[in-house]
Structure 1
Amino acid sequence: MRQLIAAAEWREGERQRGDHARPPVPDWLLERTHLPVVHAGDCWIVRKSNRCVPVSRDQPLDALRQQVPACSHCRPDTELGYLD
């Protein structure tokens, strides 16, 4: 029984260390494919994708002004307050 408890405590410690080591979620993402798309940092469509790069707040606004579409799922244009 003690071994089971020790193993569970070890797993929990590993999970917590992983949580602390994980980089923070970026606020904004820009999809870098042949058809770029602006995403909010927590968009579930691209959560574990390597197609996106984190960007500052000004970059998605500039992209939207240049007619780069906003993701229809996370709606970063609404969150940024961008209106056509």
Structure 2
Amino acid sequence: MWHTLWLTRINAKITAVQQRQAEVEHGRRHRPEPPEWTVELGIGTGRPPIQVHAGDCHMAGKRRRPIGRDEARRLLADGLRPCTHCRPDTQLDIPALPRGTTPAPRPLPQGHQHHEHSPLPRHRRSQTLTPPHSSAWPARSAPAPPASARPTSTATAAARCASGA
């Protein structure tokens, strides 16, 4: 009786595994071709393009859309940055582009301080910490040696030997 139940379970599992393998193979055969070129998009209003990538570039972000060869050439010619990993400017034979340049950082607004975005609370930012070797910090004492390493008197050692410890 239980043999029949186990055979039924095993056969059901084999059928499920075979079906899953057939689905994976079907997906592999019918997978669409990756795009030849992609453009990485920024955030905000209009999602402006940021960088041009080859279609299989692993450095392209999540916000991207496929583009054609002509649009990739046009975007690069208009000054959009090429990816420094997949080098679409080299693959598209556009040698006049500056290689690996990044736009200059924007200047901080007047009165803007970097520490305004610090994770520390405002009242702790102005405090300075005392160095650890200063006298303001409590001195750490050395840990006590284990009992087996402590010196013992001759009488105590003789008593231990006699008791077998």
The normalised TM-score by structure 2 is 0.44
Q: Tell me what 2:60 maps to.
A: 46
The AA in structure 2 aligned to 1:41 is G
Deviates more, 1:55-64 or 1:5-14: 5-14
Q: Which has the larger radius of gyration?
A: 2
Of 31, 53, 74, the residue aligned with 1:62 is 74
Task: Give, in whole Å, the separation in 2 of the partners of 1:73 and 1:40.
Answer: 9
After superposition, the CA RMSD in angstroms is 1.9
Task: Give, in whole Å, the separation in 1 of the partners of 2:69 and 2:54.
Answer: 10
The normalised TM-score by structure 1 is 0.81
Of structures 1 and 2, the one scoring higher in RCO (CA 8 A, sep 6+) is: 1
Task: Kindly tell me the number of residue pairs found equivalent between the two proteins.
Answer: 82
Task: Give, in whole Å, the separation in 1 of the partners of 2:12 and 2:60.
Answer: 39
Task: Give, in whole Å, the separation in 2 of the partners of 1:4 and 1:35.
Answer: 49
Deviates more, 1:30-39 or 1:73-82: 30-39
Q: Tell me what 2:32 maps to.
A: 23
Task: Give, in whole Å, the separation in 1 of the partners of 2:19 and 2:65.
Answer: 34
Task: Give, in whole Å, the separation in 1 of the partners of 2:59 and 2:27.
Answer: 23
> Could you give the per-residue CA deviations for residues 14-59 of structure 1, whole angstroms, max 9, x where no partner exists?
1122224432200000112146100000011227x2x111111011
Task: Specify whether residues 80 and 24 from structure 1 end up closer, same or farther in structure 2 by C-alpha distance, changes over 3 A only.
Answer: same
Task: Give, in whole Å, the separation in 1 of the partners of 2:52 and 2:60.
Answer: 11
